[in-house]
Amino acid sequence: MRIRFTFWLVVLLVIPAPLFATMQDETDVDVQVREIAKTLRCTVCQTENIWESGAPLAQQMRGVIRERIALGHSTEEIRAYFLSRYGDYILMEPPKHGVNWFIWVAPFLLLLVGGFFLYKEVTHWVRDTPTPPNQPTPPLDDQARKRIERELES
């Protein structure tokens, strides 16, 4: 009991208090900003979303999202606004339409085609490998028989 109490006491002391403060202070608007920002690509860094990016433009974009939420815009309206300014590129996930379908399907297609070729090649090898003719095992000569008997006895 005492050990468990000490353990939790240590855990609470080790975890920094601001972590709890941040968790408690996050409002519904913050959550919505985060959810939207995570789906939009930072046009400066290009590999990060605007929630994670430290670029000033990403910071300004987060500000724009917050302002639009305050004006009562829905998540879809805000995403549509950024899409209208930067095109498909702004979305972390390419939208599933037109040529973009290729991006979604290509990995699976390549896997299937690769698997098919591998299957064809392996069956080819198996078919073409010559199997040794089924011959009777040659009888043991006296010398070999004596050696085996010796090995078994020892």
Identified binder of other proteins from the candidate list 20, 104, 117, 119, rule CB under 8 A: 117
Residue position matching structure tokens 């085609």: 113
CB of 130 to other proteins, least distance (A): 19
121 binds other proteins (CB under 8 A): yes
DSSP letter string, 63-85? HHHHHHHHTT--HHHHHHHHHHH
The Cα–Cα gap between 69 and 79 comes to 11
60 binds other proteins (CB under 8 A): yes
Looking at the Cβ atoms of 13 and 70, the one nearer to other proteins is 70
Are 36 and 78 within 8 A, CB to CB? yes
Q: Determine the 3-state secondary structure of 91 from DSSP.
A: strand
Using the contact rule CB under 8 A, the part of the chain among 23-31, 96-104, 119-127, 146-154 near other proteins is: 119-127
Interface with other proteins (CB under 8 A): 43-44, 46, 56-57, 60-61, 63-64, 82, 84-87, 89, 113, 117, 120-121, 124
